[in-house]
Structure 1
Amino acid sequence: MRLHRLEITAFGPFGATQTVDFDALSSAGLFLLHGPTGAGKTSVLDAVCFALYGSVPGVRQTPGASLRSDHAPVGTYTEVLLELTVGDRRLEITRRPAQQRPKRRGTGFTTEKAQTWLREYDPATGAWNGLSRSHQEIGEEITQLLGMSREQFCQVVLLPQGDFARFLRADAEARGKLLGRLFDTRRFAAVEERLADLRRVAEQRVREGDERLLALAHRMAQAAGGLDAARTPVEGGPGEPGLAAAVLTWAAVARTEAREALDVAGLRLAAAERRRDGARAALDAERDLAARQARHADALRRRERIAERAPERDRLRAALDRGVRADRVAPALALRRDAERERDAARAALARSRARLPTDLADAGAEQLAALENRLRGELGGLEPARRAEHRAAAVAEERAVLAREARADEEALRDAADWLAGWEPRRARLAGHAEAARDAVARAEHLAGRLEPARRRLAAARRRDALARGAEAAEARLTEARERRNDAHETWLDVKSRRLEGIAAELAAGLEADAPCQVCGSTDHPAPARTTAGHVDRATEEAAYAAYTAAEETRTAAERELAVTRESWAAARAEARPAPDGDPAA
């Protein structure tokens, strides 16, 4: 950051405008501000800080302190202008604090709000471009460009008046306190305290870890059987240096001894396992022998039981043999029973047949019956031609009857034909006339059919025209009503607005507060505020009247649109329903 120019007006001890040209002062690379007490050296630095951050360091920043010079004439604004270069940007900052100024109307003073301007120099055009007039935006821009807040700027760049000399004459303790206050080393003290807390926590965790380590070592020693319950395996207490190394050394020795004991126990275990395997093999042999002996004793008992039941077995075997032989002759016996049933049936049929024969043939033998059958067959053979001739005669008689009926029908048809031919000429002439009339009717129907569909369309259009005419009349009535309502709503709104404007002073006076500036004149004195009358209209009433007028206007517009659409549809239907140019009634 490099300062170029500083203008101070009615600020601190400077009643008039003072200009400091830093470019001329710092031509040698270094400059000195000096002068008697009260000359305004610190105020110059305060002005630089105020221009950058909108506030000053030290006691001037306390509540109630004023930055305005007591020597400044009335009407002169307190203002600080600083021109500086930050990085590659040349900026100009102008700040005015909140201050009292005379009222433009009446007597007394009013408070002027704080104002800030930020401009940037454009080398290409040689002009200053305005960037912002917002306090917040300008503060953020300066903080980002400088990389320091106001507190950091005051601690690092500006040493408050008198603190440097006090720092040179102070002892080590006082100098440390002064440096701590100047550079705000409280965060470092907080870090130191935090590190001390972490150290204490770490020591506690180490002590707890040592206690757990000793407890584990003690349990290991007890498990190994080489330590009395009243002694610890290593020297030293929790938290002492070298405790972990001692425990690790003792654990390594104990681990070696335990491994040796483990190896010995392993050898003993292997020997015991071999002995166990031998005993298990002997036990398996004994169990196998006992099982075979049990099976042998069981076989002997079964042999004795079989010997005891040998007679019963022989009896059952003999019965089985008889059953096998009976099973072999069972089909032959079944065939015999079937043959006997068939023989009995044949005898019964023969008896029934002989019963139907004549008495003289009832006792005849088979040969006599066969001869009789042949003789009867021969007689039946001679009767067959006679039977066929009889059938033929019946067929011929039936055919003659059919032919007779057909002949009678033909005679009747001939008589009908003769009668029909006798009246054919008159009938033909009459039918020819009917046919000609039918042809004329068809031609007429075809001609009329070509004009029927257009007539139907014109009829439908005429009906629509009449309906639209009635709709247009209704739409005109609605439009007239909407226009009247709109005019009434407009007059009502204008009347309400006029009455509100007449009482606007009372409405503004209702929001006045003591020592607060007026919204119109800016004065903080309100000697005679206006009062509301009985017919006063507030903002809500005016807005309601305007809303009613707007709704009426929209209704009128919709009615006009509806009437225009109805009229266009009526004109189209009227043109479509108009007769054809030739004036044909059918058209």
Structure 2
Amino acid sequence: MRLHRLEITAFGPFGTAQTVDFDTLSAAGLFLLHGPTGAGKTSVLDAVCFALYGSVPGVRQSPGASLRSDHAPVGTYTEVLLELTVGERRLEITRRPAQQRPKKRGGGFTTEKAQTWLREYDPATGEWAGLSRSHQEIGEEITQLVGMSREQFCQVVLLPQGDFAKFLRADAEARGKLLGRLFDTRRFAAVEERLADLRRAAEQQVREGDERLLTLAHRMTQAAGGLDAARAPVEGRPGDPGLAESVLTWAAVARTEAREALDIAGVRFTAAERGQAAARAALDAEKELADRQARHADALRRREQLTARAPERDRHQAALDRSLKAERVAPALGLRKDAEREHATAQAARERSRAHLPPDLADQGAEHLSALEHRLRGELGGLGSARRAEQRAAALAEERAAL
């Protein structure tokens, strides 16, 4: 779900129409909604929740609580309009809560029922098409597209504003249903089925491995020949528990017996090998002498080559020393170039800003311009208060005339 635009009129602390362009805010990725206490941060999130589900989170939806702004002029409807994209569809939801409005005839006020409009943007025609004005139909459509009820939306999406402690204290079944609906746990069921398939495949591989192991055990029995281990072969079927341990135990016994036989044969072989060792020792001595003579000749040749290339090595060393010295000052030179470029950019921006000022203010300092700005903002605030007082006086005059 992606929000595009939010229009709030006479809602919460907003007495007049206010527009929030989420596309502009999210152009760089994340954005922060901040301000002093009472500035209306929570009301913006309440407006989003109200547009989607027709109610606001938590206790702010308690009986007797009014969504209408106390600062809104008489006759201005409390209304929230939200434009969003959900499920590859671009929708526009407009909601008006039940509210008091002046009677069209006579004095006093009358209660106007809550109203809801749902429209969808058609990319082919570039126009908005009305879908429904039924609260129930629109509520079901939004819940199905978003995939969450109002309570789930307030607990999971509006974490700072919702009563998230209820979600933490919920039992495992309730949280499992919610998380399964939010995060589509069907893939975990597929993983579980996949693991079961792997388990069955592993069992088949174990049986096949046991068959190969028994085949090797029979071949080892045949190879053991006259050993005692050959008279007690391994018994068992593929897949039996402990089959591998039994084969390993039998193999260990057969290996011990084979080692004993090998040791006896080794003693006999050692006696025959001593004569060969004496002759090989003489041969190895001659080979070692020849190898040392060859290494000595190669070392002399390499020394002559290195001596001939000594001037070239000195030149390379001198060049390396110069490059190391240059490397130490390169960062300082780079910082200087960056500082000069930033200074030129700031100077150009300053000149462009000065060009938009009146001639009598072009050469004024920043402190003078800041003081002038504060004074003008104060005058604008006073004019705004006077305008609202004038509008209120006009409304009172009309009401007095009507009375």
User: Into which bin does the TM-score normalised by the smaller protein fall?
Assistant: 0.3 to 0.5
For normalisation by structure 1, the TM-score amounts to 0.29
